[in-house]
């Protein structure tokens, strides 16, 4: 289990370094998706399946779509995707997929046994003790939206 965790952490670090070093924004986004998926695998290995699912749905899904639209707004929609640009993210994602399949086949997960948490408990937690964190996340998303609008608007 420690080996799988270490390999997932290595994939996350490598993908994050590649996000920072890519000159092409679309290529950096591909590596950012891989980095977020690696963090989701780590969360799953630690027994936090709900957090892993949220990581995939919210960050690797919705936020990445928002980033693609921002890139299109600022005029990079004409970037032609080179097929070689898919090799690195595909290899790293393949490593994560093999790790996840191996862990699921063995049936060994770390952390405490999972209990079902309903939407009501999540809502109570988000708007109870974690209200400040939820509001700060909403403020950051709003600031990103305002920034994307100002970067993307055309000046006549």
pLDDT, residue 15, reads 92
Residue 95 has pLDDT above 80, yes or no: yes
50-69 per-position pLDDT tens digit? 778 888 888 878 877 777 77
Positive or negative, the CA dihedral 68, 69, 75, 77 is: positive
Q: Where are the beta strands (DSSP E) in the chain?
A: none
Which of 66-80, 85-99, 125-139 is predicted least confidently? Answer: 66-80
CA dist list (Å): 47 to 41, 60, 106: 10, 19, 15
Residue 75 has pLDDT above 70, yes or no: no
Which residue, 44, 40, 42, 47, is CA-closest to 9?
42
**Residue 70 token pair:** 């921002």
**Residue 25 token pair:** 């924004």
Would you call 110 helix, strand, or coil by DSSP? coil
User: Average pLDDT in the 103-107 region?
Assistant: 79
Average pLDDT, the chain: 80
Between CA 156 and CA 149 the distance in angstroms is 15
Between CA 53 and CA 25 the distance in angstroms is 26
User: Average pLDDT in the 45-54 region?
Assistant: 80
Residue 13 has pLDDT above 60, yes or no: yes
């Amino acid at each position: 289990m420690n080996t799988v965790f270490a390999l997932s952490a290595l994939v996350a670090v490598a993908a994050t370094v590649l996000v920072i070093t890519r000159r092409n924004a679309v290529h950096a986004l591909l590596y950012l998706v891989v980095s977020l998926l690696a963090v989701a695998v780590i969360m799953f290995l630690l027994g936090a399946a709900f957090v892993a699912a949220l990581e995939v749905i919210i960050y690797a899904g919705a936020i990445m779509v928002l980033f693609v639209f921002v890139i299109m707004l600022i005029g990079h929609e004409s970037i032609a995707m080179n097929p070689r640009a898919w090799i690195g993210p595909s290899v790293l994602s393949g490593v994560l997929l093999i790790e996840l399949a191996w862990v699921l086949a063995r049936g060994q997960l770390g952390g405490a046994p999972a209990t079902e948490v309903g939407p009501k408990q999540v809502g109570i937690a988000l708007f109870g003790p974690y209200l400040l964190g939820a509001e700060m996340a909403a403020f950051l998303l709003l600031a990103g939206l305002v920034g994307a609008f100002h970067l993307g608007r055309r000046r006549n």
